Each structure stands twice: as C-alpha cells, then as structure tokens.
Amino acid sequence: MAARVDHYSVLGVEKGATADEIRSAYRKLARQYHPDTSASEDTERFKAVTVAYEILSDPEKRQRYDMFGDAEVGDLSGFGIDDLFNTFFGGSRRRERGPARGADLRLQLDLDLEEAVRGSEKKVVVPRQETCEVCHGSGAEPGSKTSTCATCNGRGEVRQVQQSLFGRFVSVATCPRCGGAGTTVDKKCARCRGEGRTHAEREVPVTIPAGIDDGQQLRVSGEGEAGTRGGPPGDLYVLIRLREHALFRREGDDLIHVLRVTPPQAALGDEIDVPTIEGDKAKVKVPAGAQHGQSVRLRGKGVPRLHGNGRGDQLVYLDVVIPKTLSKEERALYQQLDAIRGG
Ligand SMILES: [Zn+2]
Ligand SMILES: [Zn+2]
C-alpha cells in the first residue's frame, strides 16, 4: 500500500482552504509544472497537483477524502489530465503530426527571345531540401530504436499558457524537439543529423513551351522541397524573364523590327531583305510614297501562340533617315528636286 498522499500539502493550501484558494493554487502549480511548459521531470508533480485538485475541487470527493483518505475516493487512473487542463485553461487540441507537404520553390529563368519563340529544354539548378537517402526521411540511423518524445509526451505539440489582460490563454505549437512526430530516435541519422532531409542542389529539366512570354510562370510538379514525415514534395515555379533582343521587340505575339530606309527608297518604293526571328530573311515591300513610321506587316513571322494555333506577325516599321551631310552631286540633285517641286 502506498503511503497516503496529503493532497492539501501537494497544492500548498491549508486543510480548511476555500474552493477559491484551492482553485488558484492549482492554476499556479499547473502552469508551473505542466509538461508542455516545463522540464519533463516535472510531469509527476503535474500529475500529483492535478489529482489533488480533482479531488479537492469536488465537494463530495473532498469530504470523503477528508474522512477516509485516498483509498475511498475511487479509481482515478482513467481520468484525463489533458481534458481537465483544457477545461480549466481553455484552449483546444490541434494535432499536426501527419505527413506535411514540402514547400513550393520559385526560381527565375532568363531566356533569349529565340528560346521563347522556338521553345526549348532548359536545366535549372534548384537548391532544396530532399528526403535523406540513408534514413528515407525518418531521421533515425538504420537499426536504431524509436521512442516517445519526452518533451511533448508523444503529443507532437507543446502548449504555452500566456497571461493577458483578458485572462489566460493557451497557444499550441509544434514540438520543437520531435518536429511534431511525437517520437524521437535513440540514434540520429548521421547523414542528415536526424532532420530526415538533406540539402541538395539538383538540376531539374524544364520544358519551355514555344510562345512563352516575359513574366509568365511554369509549374514543375513535385520538384519543390521534400515533404516531411512521408508527405509529398512541393512544386517548383519557374518565372520566365526575356532578355532584350538587338533586332526585335516583342509586343504580344507580334515582333517589332525597325527598318531604316532612304528618302528615295521611301519615295520610289523598294524591296528589302529583313531578318526574322527564325534566322532566315524575309522580303519587305516598301510601297512607293511610304511615310516615316509606317509599318509593313509580315504575316506569320511573329511568335507562335502559346494557347492556340498559328503565329503572330512581324511588323516592320519604316524609319526614313534624312542624310545629315550631302555630297556635291547629291546637293545638286536635291536642289534640282526642290526647283521642280517648288515650280
Ligand atoms: Zn537521414
Ligand atoms: Zn515532441
């Protein structure tokens, strides 16, 4: 038979303490010794004060205890300390012990206009957390034993009781020791130091669809960070940035190209070869009497449409360049021209 426990002295109150005194003594001690907010060796004391409170706060149980001691109070082994704690302090239980999905990652990828127009296969280097190859994410050295986490007693979470103007409230957080798993390993995996994940820089192939534009984003499924506790990996998002091009400016699915022409070419009309984004040349018909800033459309020489068939156009803008200096002969011809137009 165990020695009789003095529940009054466990709570630090007098035998004739009022219900309020018992209640406030328990509040104080429960916060002090609760396993989630204090060292694990205090767990037994927490149980003791909780048992004491359970008995002394119930007038009927208290009376019987006063008369007969512990033996007559009844079986207390099945009662839930946590339930009592929650009733007393408020707060709810929220478990986050299951598999957790890995984080999504975002990278920027710079492309040449040609690569965006044709589409391409690129490789990006992704720094990320991957599931440890040695322990397969468990964090345990192969062959080591797993035991219940002493910090959270296997609950996977810790609670902090905080005092505010409006009273006490309980905040719940994932256990820092076991990361929410509720278990710890005797021998941590040497490779990942028990993290279950290791850092890696992995080359990930990315398929660039023809027609992609600056600012658009590609999602590569499952290439983000590894999940924890067997959770699925996150996704990789690749943000596309187009480098400036020397000859073309993109406007939606159209490509703008500026063509310099002389006054006679503009006045008389001409046929001129211009570059295209595909690398071959295309003929531009400059109409007679073309104006500065006028554009000529080359159908289907633009960017392939990302969602749909066909391509945009190449727009050739005419830049009529007036010569800054004239040769003697040119000067004579312009003067002659002027005389004709003036007359
Ligand atoms: Zn490992
Ligand atoms: Zn824990």
Confidence band (pLDDT; 50, 70, 90) for 167? confident
What CATH architecture applies to the domain 7-89? Orthogonal Bundle (1.10)
CATH 2.10.230.10 occupies which residues in the chain?
A: 105-242
Outline which parts of the chain fall under CATH 2.60.260.20: 249-342
Q: Which ligand is nearest to the CA of 129?
A: 1
Architecture of domain 105-242: Ribbon (2.10)
Task: Reply yes or no on whether the pLDDT at 328 is more than 80.
Answer: yes
Ligand nearest to the CA of 179: 2
* Tokens standing for residue 282: 């295309």
Q: How far apart are CA 169 and CA 88, in angstroms?
A: 10
228 CA → ligand 1 middle, Å: 12
- The CA 265 to ligand 2 mean position distance, Å, reads 82
Cα of 183 to ligand 2 centre, how many Å?
6
Residues 173 and 36: their CA atoms lie apart, in Å, by 10
Measured at the CA of 112, the angle between CA 109 and CA 115, to 5 degrees, comes to 90
Q: Is the model's pLDDT at 213 over the cut of 90?
A: yes
Domain 249-342, what architecture?
Answer: Sandwich (2.60)
200 half-sphere exposure, CB direction, 13 A CA radius: 17
Confidence band for 231, pLDDT divided at 50, 70 and 90:
confident
CATH 1.10.287.110 in the chain, residue ranges: 7-89
What average pLDDT does the segment 31-58 reach? 75
Residue 187 C-alpha to ligand 1 middle, in angstroms? 11
Strand partners, 286: 270
Burial 150-184 (b: 16+ CB within 10 A, else e): ebbbbbbbbbebeeeeeeeebebebbeebbbbbbb
From the CA of 137, the nearest ligand is: 1
Which residue has better confidence, 178 or 42? 178
**C-alpha 158 to ligand 2 mean position (Å):** 8
What 8-state DSSP symbol labels residue 71? G
Residue 37 is predicted with a pLDDT of: 62
Helix (H) / strand (E) element for 330: namely helix 328-342
From the CA of 94, how far away is ligand 2's center (Å)? 14
Least confident of 27-31, 43-47, 247-251, 301-305: 43-47
* 35 Cα: distance to centroid of ligand 2 (angstroms): 11
- Report whether pLDDT(78) > 60: no
* 40 pLDDT higher than 80: no
Look at 34 and 327; give whichever has higher pLDDT: 327
Q: Residue 337: pLDDT band by 50, 70, 90 thresholds? A: very high
Report field, pTM of the whole predicted structure over 0.75: no
Mean pLDDT for the stretch of residues 281-292: 96
- Residue 53 binned pLDDT confidence (cut-offs 50, 70, 90): confident
- In this structure, which ligand is nearest to the CA of 190? 1
Res. 278: pLDDT tops 50: yes
Instruction: Give the distance (Å) from ligand 2 centre to CA of residue 37.
Output: 12
Distance 150 CA to ligand 1 centre (A): 21
Residues with CB under 5 A from ligand 1 (ion): 132, 134-135, 189, 191-192
Cα distances from 27 to residues 91, 248, 253, 290, in angstroms, run 15, 74, 70, 91
How far apart are the CA of 153 and the centre of ligand 2, in A? 6
